[in-house]
Structure 1
Amino acid sequence: MTHETLGVVLAGGLARRMGGGDKPMREIGGRTILDHVIERLAPQCDGLVLNANGDPARFAAFGLPVVADTVADNPGPLAGVLAALDWAAQNRPQAQFVVSVAGDCPFLPRDLVGRLHEARERDEAELAVAASGGRSHPVIGLWKVALRGELRHALVEEDLRKIDRWTARYRLATVDWPAEPVDPFFNANTVEDLSEAERLAKLAG
C-alpha cells in the first residue's frame, strides 16, 4: 500500500560551528549539500518543500516552496516539522505523511521513505525514525499529518523542544541502516566535516 508523502528538508539551522550562514549551501564536490539532499530525496516523495526562515529568495534557484516556521522564537526542528505538516494540510490535502530530513545530510539513503513506511506498518506504529550504527536520528522521520494539532499544542502550550520527547508519546518504529562504508546520515556541522564529506562522497556513489 502506498501513501502520498511530502518531503521536507529542514534547512533552518544557524550553522554556528561553521561561522554562520546556511549549512545546506556549502559545497561538496562542486555542488551544494542541498543539491545532494534533493537529488536523493525527491524521487522518493510526492513533492518537496524547504523549511527555512528569513529571506526565501536565497533558495530560489532550487525551485521549491520555502515554508517558514509558524511558531515564534526558532524553537528548533520540531517547528520545521510542524510547518511542513501545516503546509501539507493546506496545499496537499491528500498527503497523509511528511518525511523530514536534515538539510546537511548529503548521503541520505535512496530507500529511506519506503523503509520508514514498511516499518511503521509492520510495527503498527504512528511514527517512524531512522537510525544508523545503533544511534537514532530523530530529525530523519516519518510524521502523520493528522498529528499536527497535537504537535502544535506541545510546541506552543508545553514549550516542548526535543524531538525524542515528542516521539516518546507515540508508537514509534525505528529503522537502522549500516554506518559503513558511509553513514547515510553523516551531517556536515563543521568545516572539518566538509573535508570528510569530500572524502566520503567518493565512496557513497
Structure 2
Amino acid sequence: MNDNNILAVVLAGGKSKRFGQDKNCVKLGSKTLLEHVLFKISNKFEEILIVSSNPLKIEEAKNTTIIPDCFNDLGPLAGVLSSMKWIKENKKSYKWIATFPSDTPFFDPIIIEEYKARIEQSKSSLYFVKSNEKRHNIFGLWSIDLMEKLEEDLVINNYRKVEEWANKVGVSTIDIKIKNYDPFFNINTKEDLDVAQTILNLDKND
C-alpha cells in the first residue's frame, strides 16, 4: 500500500470551555499539547492538516497546513468534513484521512500501522480505536468516500455527535491493549493537566 493514501488530520478546533483557555497552546513539559501530537505523527505521514478556527502559534513546517472549519460551531464532524473538502479542492490523491485530537498527548503511534493494515483489508470505510471496551471516536480512519453523506447529515440532518453519526453509517473498531495507563487519556480540565504531568514524569522515569 502507498502510504500517501492517508492524510493526517489534527482536530484542534474545540472551544476548551472546561479548561478555560485554548488547550492547544498549553504546555505539558517542554511542548504544548498540540506539539506533542505533531511530534508523534510528523514523520509518519507525507502531509499533516490541522483544522482549527482558533489562532495557533506553531513553528511553520513544510508538510503542515492549517485550515479553518468549513462550518463554525458544528463540532468535530465539521473538522472531518473540512479536511475531506480540502483534499478535493486541492486535487490531492488521498483516499483516507486519519484523525487525531489535539488534547491527547500519550497515544502510541503504533495505531498508524494498524490503520495501514485496515486499508489493505478494505472491510470498512470507517474505523475507530478502542481500548478497555471504550471507543475513542476522534482517533479514526475515514474513507473520503464518506464525504457527501457526512455533509448531508451534518448540514441537513443536524448530526453533531461523532458517535451517533458513526453508529448510523457503520463503524469498525481497532482494539489497542493498555499497559500502564490509558494512552488515550485526553485533557479537558486543569485537573486533567495535572494528571497528565504525572503521567509524563512516569514516562521519563521508565
With the length of structure 2 as denominator, give the TM-score of the two structures.
0.89
Contact preservation (8 Å) 1:120, 1:172 = no
Q: What percent identity do the matched residue pairs reach?
A: 29
Deviation at 1:118, TM superposition (A): 2.1
Segments of structure 1 that go 5 or more residues without pairing to the other structure are: none
In the TM superposition, 1:24-35 aligns within 5 A as 24-35=24-35
Partner amino acid, structure 2, of 1:18? F
**Cα 1:90–1:59 shift into 2, 3 Å:** farther
Q: What is the one-letter code of the residue matched to 2:68?
A: A
2:150 corresponding residue in structure 1: 151
CA displacement at 1:22 relative to structure 2: 1.6
Aligned twin of 2:7: 6
Match of 1:39, as an amino acid? F
User: In the alignment, is the contact (CA less than 8 A) between 1:108 and 1:184 conserved in 2?
Assistant: yes
Superposed CA offset, 1:88-131 (max 9, x none): 22235211111111100101211122212323544711111111
**Aligned residue identity for 2:6:** T
- The equivalent residue for 1:115 is 114
Residues 44, 111 of structure 1: 8 Å contact kept: no
Shift of 1:59: 3.0
Q: 1:120 to 1:168 in 2, by over 3 A?
A: farther
**3-state DSSP class of the match of 2:43?**
helix
Give the alignment of 1:76-91 within 5 angstroms.
76-91=75-90
Report how far residue 178 of structure 1 moved.
2.3
Q: Is the 8 A contact 2:52 2:67 kept in 1?
A: yes
> CA–CA distance in 1 between the matches of 2:122 and 2:157?
28
The CA deviation at 1:184 is: 1.6
One of 34, 57, 60 as aligned partner of 1:59: 57
Name whichever of 178-187 and 115-124 sits farther off.
115-124
Matched AA of 2:11: L
Structure 1 ranges of 4+ moved more than 6 A: none
Q: Residue type of the partner of 2:198?
A: R
Aligned partner of 2:124 in structure 1 is 125
Q: Which moved more, 1:163-172 or 1:78-87?
A: 163-172
Q: 2:36, 2:105 within 8 Å by CA — same for their partners in 1?
A: yes
RMSD (Å), alpha carbons: 1.9
Take 1:125 and 1:164, find their aligned partners in 2: how far apart are those partners? 16
Per the alignment, residue 102 of structure 2 pairs with 103
Structure 2: how far apart are the matches of 1:92 and 1:193? 40
State the SS of the aligned residue for 1:137. Answer: strand
Residue in 2 that maps onto 1:169:
168
Residue aligned with 1:125, SS: coil
Task: Give a deviation string over 1:10-40, Cα, whole Å, max 9, x none.
Answer: 1111111111x22121111121111110011
Q: State the Cα distance separating 1:61 from its structure 2 match.
A: 2.5
- 1:65 match: secondary structure: strand
The answer for the alignment partner of 1:45 in structure 2 is: 45
Q: How many residues align structurally?
A: 201
Counterpart of 2:37 in structure 1: which amino acid?
A: V
Aligned to 1:59, what secondary structure does the other structure show? Answer: coil
